[in-house]
Amino acid sequence: MAGSGRFCVTIGREPGDIAAAQALRTRAFATGEGDGDRFDALCDHLLVRDCRNGAVVCSARILACADGRGISRSYSAQYYDLSALTQYRGDMAELGRFCIDPGAADPDILRVAWGALTRYVDDNNIEMLFGCSSFAGTDTSIYLDTFAVLRDRYLAPPRWGPGVGSGDVFRYGAEARVADVREGMRRMPPLLRSYLLMGGRVSDHAVVDRQMNTLHVFTGLEIDAIPPARKRLLRADGAEI
Mean pLDDT over the full length of the chain: 91
Higher-confidence residue: 84 or 107? 84
Cα–Cα distance between 79 and 81 in angstroms, integer? 7
Going by pLDDT thresholds of 50, 70 and 90, the confidence category of residue 70 is confident
**92-140 pLDDT tens trace:** 999 999 999 988 888 899 899 999 999 999 999 999 999 999 999 999 9
Is the pTM here over 0.85, yes or no? Answer: yes
Statement: residue 28 has pLDDT above 90: no
Statement: residue 90 has pLDDT above 80: yes
Find out whether 138 and 63 touch, Cβ atoms under 8 Å. Answer: no
Cα–Cα distance between 50 and 115 in angstroms, integer? 16
Higher-confidence residue: 130 or 213? 130
Model pLDDT, residue 66:
84
Statement: residue 86 has pLDDT above 70: yes
Cα–Cα distance between 121 and 41 in angstroms, integer? 20
Model pLDDT, residue 4:
57
CA angle 19, 21, 22 (to 5 degrees): 65
Going by pLDDT thresholds of 50, 70 and 90, the confidence category of residue 196 is very high
Model pLDDT, residue 115:
92
Model pLDDT, residue 2:
56
Half-sphere exposure of 11 (CA within 13 A, CB side): 21
Find out whether 200 and 221 touch, Cβ atoms under 8 Å. Answer: yes
Higher-confidence residue: 221 or 237? 221
Model pLDDT, residue 34:
61
Model pLDDT, residue 104:
87
Q: What is the mean pLDDT of residues 24-38?
A: 79
Half-sphere exposure of 137 (CA within 13 A, CB side): 7
Model pLDDT, residue 1:
54
Other CB atoms within 10 Å distance of the CB of residue 23: 15
**155-193 pLDDT tens trace:** 999 999 999 998 899 999 777 678 899 999 999 998 899
What is the amino acid identity at position 23? A
What is the DSSP secondary-structure string of the chain? -EEETTEEEEEE-SHHHHHHHHHHHHHHHT-SS----TTGGGSEEEEEEETTT--EEEEEEEEEESSGGGGGGSSGGGTEE-GGGGG--S-EEEEEEEEE-TT---THHHHHHHHHHHHHHHHTT--EEEEEEEEESS-GGGGHHHHHHHHHH-BPPTTT--EE-SSSEEEGGG--PPP-HHHHHHTS-HHHHHHHHTT-EE-SEEEEETTTTEEEEEEEEEGGGS-HHHHHHHHHHHHT-
Going by pLDDT thresholds of 50, 70 and 90, the confidence category of residue 9 is very high
Cα–Cα distance between 156 and 220 in angstroms, integer? 8
Q: Give me the domains of the chain, ranges plus CATH numbers.
A: 2-239 (3.40.630.30)
